[in-house]
Amino acid sequence: MPLSTRELLDSLPQQGVLRWIGLRPARKAPMNSVDVVDVIEAQGLFGDRAVKGPRLRPGKRQVTFFQHEHLAVLEALLGRPVHPELLRRNLVVSGINLHALKGRRFRVGDALFEHTGLCDPCHRMEENLGPGGFNAMRMHCGITTRVLQGGTIRLGDAVVLER
């Protein structure tokens, strides 16, 4: 008997891996690449411009993720190399389909995240990636998340669906 759609959606045995961490120190400033970062519950990544002291940062865009495998797609569409810092996303992961995490909770290292939506491209992609950058990013844009539990994350940490 074939599996139901719900059973198929719940079947995600893959684990991903954290490949890149980027912090935006200020609006329009270059991204800083780091190997380890503290994740602050209900705020985001320590050192990112969006995290401002002890106040809560409610909302659905506390930390952004990008699918490493989509870098090759962007490079093919644009005909040039694409580096993670140009995309202005915080975390780049491989080995797990970020879109399969829709509406779900997942862990990276000690931190717990909740998928809240797509991280749609903006005009900055045209500036950062050159002509066609905005359209190349469509459907390859990454996801937004909320931080449910803080902790420390490091390059190489597993990305695992919370059951």
What's the CATH code of the domain at 82? 2.40.33.20
Residues, the chain: 163
* Reported confidence tier of residue 54, pLDDT bands at 50, 70, 90: low
Which three-class secondary structure string do you get for 9-21?
Answer: HHCCCCCEEEEEE
Query: Is it the case that residue 72 has pLDDT exceeding 60?
Result: yes
Six token digits for residue 134: 């905005």
Residue 113 is assigned to a structural domain of this protein: yes
Residue 128 is assigned to a structural domain of this protein: yes
Closest CA relative to residue 149, chosen from 57, 55, 42? 42
Residue 1 is assigned to a structural domain of this protein: no
The range of the structural domain enclosing residue 45 comes to 13-161
Residue 46 is assigned to a structural domain of this protein: yes
Query: Is it the case that residue 55 has pLDDT exceeding 80?
Result: no
Tally of domains in the chain: 1
As a whole number of angstroms, the distance between CA 117 and CA 141 comes to 11
In terms of DSSP H, where are the helices of the chain? 5-10, 69-78, 123-129, 133-137
Closest CA relative to residue 65, chosen from 27, 37, 99? 99
pLDDT, average across residues 30-52: 92
Six token digits for residue 159: 């990305």
Residue 3 is assigned to a structural domain of this protein: no
* Reported confidence tier of residue 56, pLDDT bands at 50, 70, 90: low
Contact 66, 120 (CB under 8 A): no
Residue 52 is assigned to a structural domain of this protein: yes
Query: Is it the case that residue 52 has pLDDT exceeding 70?
Result: no
Residue 7 is assigned to a structural domain of this protein: no
Residue 148 is assigned to a structural domain of this protein: yes
